[in-house]
Each structure stands twice: as C-alpha cells, then as structure tokens.
Amino acid sequence: MHPHLRLGRLAGIEIGIHYSWILIATLITLSLGAHFAEVNPQWTIGVIWSAAVVTGLLFFASIVVHELGHALVARARGLPVRSITLFALGGVASIEKDAADARTEFWMGIAGPLTSVGIGVVCMGLAWALGWGTNLTPADPPMAVLVWLGYINVMLAAFNMIPGFPLDGGRVLRAAVWGVTGNADRATRIAARIGQGVALLFIMFGVWQFFSGAGVGSLWIALIGWFLLDAAGAAYFQMETVATLKGLRVRDIMADDCFRIGARTSLQTFADDYLLRTGQRCFVVEDHGQVAGLITAVDLKQVPRDRWTHTTVDAVMRPLSRLRTVTPDMPVVDALQAMGREDVNQLPVVSNGRLEGMLSRGRIVQILQTRAELSM
C-alpha cells in the first residue's frame, strides 16, 4: 500500500498515511468524545474533545510503533523495509522481501503484538502511578487517556494474534507450519485458508449482530472480516503466483522487439501514428541511434492536448538513466516485486549498458493465464 501523505521518517523508515485513515481517525475521535462525555459528565466540552483528540493521535502513534516492531525485526534479519502506512483498518509495514526462513517469519510476526502489549503495560503502569485502580473510573484526563490506551493496545495485541493470515497470529501460524513441514508454500496455503475461514466468521457474526439489534457498530466487525477475507485471498494468490513463476528468468518472457520512436517526434504524431495504431502503451525513445528513454500513454496524458503538436517526445520521456531496470538473468518473481515497489507496469531489461528488451506486467499475466489453463 502506497502512502498518499508522507509524514517523515522514523528509524530511517518512511511514515505516511493513506486517505482512508482520515475517515477512521475522525470516527475514532468522535467515538472517544462520546465515551469521555458519558463516563466523565463533569468534564467541560473543551476538556472532553481535547482528551479525545490527544487519545486518538496517541492511539495511531501506538499503531506506528506496533508496525515499527515488525519493521525493525525485518531489517535486523536483512529484509529491506520501505515504509509504514496508516490506513482505515490500522497500519501496514511495506517489507520488500518475504522471510527466508520460518524463524525470521515467526519473530517478524510476533514482534508487533509484543510491542503493543509493552505499550499497554506501560500506559496502565503510568495510570496506576497516578492513582488509578482497576475498580475505579479514571477521573482526570491524563489518567483516562492512559487507561484507554493501555486497554486498547492489549486488545490490539490479542486481536492480531488471531491465527488468521495475514494477521500477526496468522504469520506466527505460518511460521509454525513452515518449521514443521519445511515447505513455505504449503504453510502459506494453510495459513491463508484459515485466514479466509476466520474472516467469514467475522462477517457472519457482524451481520448477525446487526440484525439482532446490536446497532450499526456491529457492521465494523463485518467490515474487518471483509478486509481480512480480501487480504487472505490476496496472500493466497500471491503464493500461487510465485509458485507458478518459479524458475523463470526475465530473458524467458521479455519482449525483445520493442516499438521505437524518434526523440524529435511530436506528441501528436506519437498519439496518432504509434499509440492509437499499435495499441502498445510503452515505447523506446531513440536519439541519434542511441536509446534515450521511455515514453508511455501516462506520460502523454501529463501534457495538455493543445500542446501536443508543438511538444516533442524527448521533452516528456523518462530518461533511461532515471528508470528502474532489470537484468535478463533476474528471476521474474523479483522483477514483479520491483514493479510493485516502483508502481510501474513495465521495466527496461538492460545488460552491460545495452537495452535488451522490455518486461511488462501484461506479459507476466499472459504467462500466468497460459500456465493456469494448462494446469502447470
């Protein structure tokens, strides 16, 4: 998941938020305001909403720390971590490679819940030091904030340990099955299937609660279940994709007959004579016989249509030196992961400084479809 708004870096890892986070942050703040108003009616409106906003921000900060636990363990195990993104249903650490062994998968999975338990214990410990007792309703704002954060972080850890992939508990389960069987693909398949089962239970329970009169809040359980079902299905599909592409190198499926276009060609000619007539979306740009870069339909769309006649391809192309490239001997699985990280649909294949061809996401999909039809 790519962040829409970047907040900065923490421990060298980019922290960002997805637009969907704004919705959930607003709902949680409103919910906290109603909660504090109900249990502490003596508070003023200003105190209630100040406590709600501060608690909401600290809650999301604790989610970042939870994900940071995963990220730091991954980095300590030699796995690069790109970013941490907050979104509607929590946070996600973008780890660029899968764990290489069951032990790494286990510690990566368990690190987040252990971090959340630690945060919860610290918050409740601080509240206790301020005079809170488990049988007392916290009366002052700092204590109320700490108690709520303590409980919610322990609950977050417990929820994440549900053994349904891709929850942390599902990753721990995957690591356990992997360790016993020695087969990572089988472990992923089992954990993903259990994750889908858990998700369906969430959906059914949430819907049943709603029609039993529990209110709209019960639909959140169904929504969480839907998200888990989608994520577990995606994890299963990814595992099947990796298994299908295993053994293939970029040179095996790249296109070596790339469409080429001169650097001084106008964008209007590019659109009329190349894009529309060939149906291709990516073209190699040549300047005096040398490869200068690439241009796609996306690049063309960045220029107003009334300027196409007077603008040449080299003015909007992406120079080859600034493009992410792959080599002919790179595994296709690694190249596909690179496409996901860079959010591109094609990559130039370069060897010894020379363009050998192009690898496109569409070509990979064709290979997957063909192998699926032949049950290979």
137-191, pLDDT tens digit by residue? 777 888 999 999 999 999 989 988 988 877 899 899 999 999 999 988 889 889 8
Are 127 and 146 within 8 A, CB to CB? yes
Q: Which residues pair with 83 in a beta bridge?
A: 14, 94
Q: Is the confidence at residue 259, as pLDDT, over 60? A: yes
Of 87 and 40, the structure prediction assigns the larger pLDDT to 40
Does residue 270 contact residue 299 with C-beta atoms inside 8 Å? no
Distance CA 333, CA 258 (A): 22
Lowest-pLDDT choice from 68-77, 243-252, 367-376: 367-376
The model's pTM: 0.74
Q: Is the pLDDT of residue 120 over 90?
A: yes
Residue 270 pLDDT: 92
* 250-373 fold: CBS-domain (3.10.580)
What integer pLDDT is reported at residue 1 of this predicted model?
56
Question: Which pLDDT score, from 0 to 100, does residue 3 have?
Answer: 56
HSE on the CB side for 34, CA within 13 Å? 5
Per the CB < 8 A criterion, the answer to whether 228 and 201 are in contact is: no
Least confident of 57-61, 184-188, 232-236, 295-299: 232-236
Predicted local distance difference test score (pLDDT) of residue 135: 67
Residue 215 pLDDT more than 60?
Answer: yes
Q: List, for residues 50-94, the tens digit of each pLDDT value.
A: 999 999 999 989 998 999 999 999 999 888 888 888 776 677 888
Q: Does residue 286 carry a catalytic annotation? A: no
How confident is the model over 4-19, as pLDDT tens digits?
678 888 878 888 888 8
Per the residue annotation, which of 38, 67, 105, 356 is the catalytic one?
A: 67
Spans of all domains in the chain: 5-245, 250-373
